[in-house]
A and B are shown apart, each in its own frame.
Chain A
Amino acid sequence: NAGVTQTPKFRILKIGQSMTLQCTQDMNHNYMYWYRQDPGMGLKLIYYSVGAGITDKGEVPNGYNVSRSTTEDFPLRLELAAPSQTSVYFCASRRRVERTEAFFGQGTRLTVV
């Protein structure tokens, strides 16, 4: 039982490049989330999903896209990377909407140069 797995752990992108951050969970959780965390700051919600095929924007969605074709996977796509997207990205999942904790992946440290 691996929990929430994120890949890659580290990545350096050049301005204008694109990439996909992968997130997979093996707990059959319906709810999945993508957050970014800038140095010394809290977690800002980028996108979230309440089930396969259903996604919604969070607080800071601009510059990102997501898809949820299966329960297990929730990839985050960065198009045309910008220095402002330099951050640590966390994926999380929860079993149901109420009274369940979120489990986090180990994070992806992304630098855009």
Chain B
Amino acid sequence: QKEVEQNSGPLSVPEGAIASLNCTYSDRGSQSFFWYRQYSGKSPELIMFIYSNGDKEDGRFTAQLNKASQYVSLLIRDSQPSDSATYLCAVIDAGGTSYGKLTFGQGTILTVHP
């Protein structure tokens, strides 16, 4: 099993719809989870982080974490064409020999069409 796995894409949604991005992780002890957005040819930029079970909302973005299921998701409400990008899930290794390792999923390409 991959350490961090994202739902296969690409994902295409109409403008104004909700985009749902999913991520599972293998290290049950992980405590810190991040969602990055990456536009083509650019560096990743942080859009959300979540550390506790439940939901965290920031504007049109909501991150959801379920540690028991080892699952983290990102919802984008009222999707805009400017949201079209690759979304990367990232997880910190909490302990053991790889303490501090930051692992990314393979990314999900989101396209929002007008």
Contact = CB atoms under 8 A, between A and B. Distances in A.
A98 B92 contact: yes
B107 A45 contact: no
Name the interface size band of chain A: 20 to 34
A42 B51 contact: no
Contacts of B6: 42
B107 A48 contact: no
Contacts of A59: 103
Contacts of B49: 99, 101
B102 A48 contact: yes
Nearest to B43: A104
Given A97-B92, A101-B46, A42 B99 contact: no
19 contacts: A31-B102, A33-B102, A35-B104, A42-B106, A43-B44, A43-B88, A43-B104, A45-B101, A45-B103, A90-B43, A97-B92, A97-B100, A99-B49, A99-B51, A100-B32, A101-B46, A102-B102, A104-B43, A105-B43
